[in-house]
Amino acid sequence: MNNSKITVITVVYNCHDTIEATILSVINQTYDNVEYIIIDGGSKDGTVDVIKKYQDQINYWVSEPDEGIYEAMNKGIDKASGDWINFMNSGDSFTSDKVLSSIFASDNYIDVDILYGNCIMVENNSKIEHISGTDINRISKNPIYRHGASFVSTDVHKEFMFDVSLKDKLGFALDYNCIYQLYLAKKKFQKVDVNVLTYQKEGISNQPLKGIWYKYLITRKKSSKYSFEYCKTLLKISVVYLLSLRKKK
Q: In whole angstroms, how far apart are CA 88 and each of 6, 115, 136, 213, 223? A: 12, 15, 23, 25, 37
Would the CA dihedral through 69, 34, 109, 106 be positive or negative?
Answer: negative
Model pLDDT for residues 157-166, shown as the tens digit of each residue? 999 999 999 9
What pLDDT was estimated at residue 237? 67
Phi, psi for 221 (deg, rounded to 5): -110, 170
Q: What secondary structure, in 3-state letters, does the chain show?
A: CCCCCEEEEEEECCCCCCHHHHHHHHHCCCCCCEEEEEEECCCCCCHHHHHHHCHHHCCEEEECCCCCHHHHHHHHHHHCCCCEEEECCCCCEECCCCHHHHHHCCCCCCCCCEEEEEEEEEECCEEEEECCCCCHHHHHCCCCCCHHHEEEEHHHHHHCCCCHHHHHHHHHHHHHHHHHHHHHCCCCEEEEEEEEEEEECCCCCCCHHHHHHHHHHHHCCCCHHHHHHHHHHHHHHHHHHHHHHHHHC
- The whole-number pLDDT of residue 34 equals 97
The per-residue pLDDT for 107 is 80
Low-confidence ranges of the chain (pLDDT < 70): 1, 202-209, 221-234, 236-237, 240-241, 243-249
The burial of 188, by beta-carbon neighbours within 10 Å (0-12 exposed, 13-18 middle, 19 or more buried), is given as: middle
Entry pTM: 0.88
pLDDT of the residue at 3: 84
